[in-house]
Structure 1
């Protein structure tokens, strides 16, 4: 299996070098390191990593790197690795297109597993943050605007969509609802078809737009 190519951007050299060394020991190919927003944008273009691992608190801001990186390379997978437990930061990161939001207390093996799942197409958010974000997703009444495009969804499909909108991957939605991951994938396929959404992010934005009206 080809090693996952990884670029790491964090303005704390000791931490960055430690993460790079640990992940390299587990088979990742570290193709670049940087310390700022500008480094992140440059590395995405010049080093072609499969995953760009970004801190938030660095010169220029990690969150501010997401849009310009994806503008140049829409297929770039971005994972935030941060000490920030802010729901707002997590929501901004995911809404801007990051595929993962991971807290720095994570162990190296867990981080490797998360990056592998993101590389395979999953989205990840640290469980404690996901639970907190889900608790703050507003419930809708029967006469809300959700009756429009979302009115065709079943209760289960809507429940799954809310969890996806909170940033959970299919795997973590399955764990939350005590269902099989393949069942969640089946439901999300139906959700995308019913909403005429291109992807999970579009479907989540349709939900958020409807529930903010």
Structure 2
């Protein structure tokens, strides 16, 4: 992991918490976005834990340089911020971040978020998903030639709406009385049919298309 935060106490705290885990290791830490880009390109961490507001280069632009569209061999970025309704967070997700969490989230949620993003999945803080995406998704045009939701089966459409509501795979499984593996299959099919990258884009798509309110 690479930790990037301009507040030394926060940065040190994250490093200490992450390094205490037997399955996680911090390979570097820095206090500005430019340094994050340089270190990430050199060290190739599994995940960059990125703050949004930083000097030299902010977390949004750093994320775009590391994980944006067209970036070869992109790095996974988890945005961790104090601003749960800040437009900059949404911009970071659009820039290519795999998800975000709030800095006041429980330690277990932070560690779980890092593991989730590292595994290739996307993560949205459930408590702010609806407000954040609902507020800003209408400003963004959908990708060109994006297939319509009519390509989805009724069950896939149901799963899409639950994903957009911020539910995890296990929560969706409980809601629909399905196995977690079956839910994963449905999510994978949704991503393929709609030509979307991850759950973050599923949420944006759902709000943009008016599938959830």
Q: TM-score range by the shorter chain?
A: 0.7 to 0.9
Please name the residue that 2:60 is paired with: 63
Q: Report if the CA contact (8 A) 2:36-2:62 is conserved.
A: yes
Q: What secondary structure, in the 3-state scheme, does the structure 2 residue paired with 1:78 have?
A: strand
TM-score w.r.t. the length of structure 2 is: 0.76
What residue ranges of structure 2 are gaps of 5+ in the alignment?
Answer: 138-146
Structure 1's 169 and 64: CA in aligned 2 closer, same or farther, altered over 3 A? farther
For 1:175 and 1:50, the matched residues in 2 are separated by: 30
User: Partner residue of 1:17?
Assistant: 12
Q: 1:162 & 1:40 partners in 2: Cα distance?
A: 35
Between stretches 11-20 and 127-136, larger displacement belongs to: 127-136
Match of residue 141 from structure 2: none
Unaligned runs of 5+ in 1: 1-5, 139-147
TM superposition shift of 1:174: 4.0
Q: Does 1:52 align with 2:48?
A: yes
Aligned residue number for residue 160 of structure 2: 161
User: Residue 164 of structure 1: CA displacement?
Assistant: 3.8
Computed over aligned residues only, the root mean square deviation of the Cα atoms, in angstroms, reads: 3.1
Question: TM (normalized to structure 1)?
Answer: 0.76
User: How many residues matched?
Assistant: 197
1:151 Cα shift?
Answer: 1.3
Contact 2:61/2:95, CA 8 A, preserved across alignment: no
